[in-house]
Amino acid sequence: MDLIVVAKEPVPGRVKTRLCPPCSPADAAMIAAAALADTLDAAVRCGADRVVLALDGRPGPWCPPGVKVARQGEGTLDRRLATAWTAARGPALQVGMDTPQLSAADLDEALAHLNDGGVDAVIGPATDGGWWTVGLHRPDPHVFVGVPTSRADTGARQHARLAALGLRTHTLRTLTDVDTWPDAAAVAAAAPGTRFADAVRRVGAGTPP
For residue 171, the tally of other CB atoms under 10 A from its CB is 14
User: What's the CA gap between 137 and 70, in Å, rounded?
Assistant: 21
pLDDT, averaged across the chain: 94
Name the architecture of domain 2-204.
Alpha-Beta Complex (3.90)
pLDDT at 135: 97
User: What are the DSSP calls for 118-156, one per residue?
Assistant: T-SEEEEEBTTSSEEEEEESS--GGGTTT---SSTTHHH
The candidate with the shortest Cα–Cα distance to 94, out of 132, 40, 57, is 132
The pLDDT of residue 207: 60
pLDDT-wise least confident of 69-73, 108-112, 168-172, 199-203: 69-73
Q: What are the pLDDT digits (tens) for 93-122?
A: 999 999 999 999 999 999 999 988 889 999
Domain boundaries, the chain: 2-204
